[in-house]
Homo-oligomer: A and B are copies of this chain.
């Protein structure tokens, strides 16, 4: 693995990433969660994300391990993932130490939205229940930074913070592309 791209639900990470991909033809983007779900479906232990979130920590860890293994070989990979996942059991680390040590991570990119904008987007999203979000977006984004500092220390990876301002996804994408190309040199 090379780069992880992280952001809270509703922060605009997916939109920014879509726009950036057009200018990064040599990079493959994968959603860590989607890869995990594929594996879970094959094993017939979960049919959707909600069922994954309810699996035992051991089962989740096993799914993470298998997904990690699949993506480890690939170069030029942008992994769309989470550092701090809200679950009924609390905030679960998306990149725990055992998982980081199995990858060759060399870059952490945080995409941060405006808290008020995030709240609006979440209200519109009918696939999520209101109960899914206990943490105010501002705090959740701060907690992402705490985890990022830990992962950065363990892996020696730099952290790039990209602000996704309302109606400025294009600008954020531009900065994302620049960051990735800057790191190539």
Query: Residue A106 contacts which of B57, B97, B149, B150 (CB distance < 8 angstroms)?
Result: B57
Residue from B87, B91, B108, B153 in contact with A150 in the complex, judged by beta carbons closer than 8 Å: B153
Q: Which residues of B contact A147 (CB under 8 A)?
A: 149, 152-153
Count of residues in A whose CB is under 8 Å from the partner chain = 41
Among B87, B143, B149, B158, the residue within 8 A (CB) of A90 is B158
Segment 119-156 of A: residues with Cβ below 8 Å from B: 135, 143, 145-156
A166 at the interface (CB under 8 A from B): no
Judge if A159 is at the interface, Cβ distance under 8 Å. Answer: yes
Can you list, as one digit per residue, whether each of A2-21 has a CB less than 8 Å from chain B (1) or not (0)? 00000000000000000000
Which listed residue, B61, B90, B154, B161, touches A153 by the CB 8 Å rule?
B154
Find chain B residues with CB under 8 A from A98 CB. 156
Q: Evaluate whether A92 and B158 lie within 8 angstroms (CB atoms) in the complex, with A106-B57, A153-B97 already known.
A: yes
| A93 and B160 contacting across the interface, CB-CB below 8 Å | no
CB distance from A108 to the nearest CB of B (A): 8
Q: Would you call A182 an interface residue if the criterion is a C-beta within 8 Å of the partner chain's C-beta atoms? A: yes
How distant is A58 from chain B, measured CB to nearest CB, in Å? 10
- Is A87 within 8 A of B149, CB to CB? no
Q: If the complex has contacts A97-B153, A153-B95, A156-B57, are A182 and B145 also in contact, measured as CB distance less than 8 A?
A: no
B156 contacts A97, CB within 8 Å? Answer: yes
B146 touches A93 (CB 8 A): no
**Could you tell me if A96 and B156 are in contact, using CB atoms closer than 8 angstroms?**
yes
A74 interface hit (Cβ, 8 Å): no
- The complex places the Cα of A159 from the Cα of B93 at a distance, in Å, of 9
* Pairs across A and B, CB under 8 Å, 19 listed: A57-B156, A61-B156, A84-B149, A89-B179, A89-B183, A90-B107, A90-B108, A90-B179, A93-B149, A93-B152, A93-B153, A96-B153, A96-B154, A96-B156, A97-B154, A146-B146, A146-B149, A147-B153, A153-B154
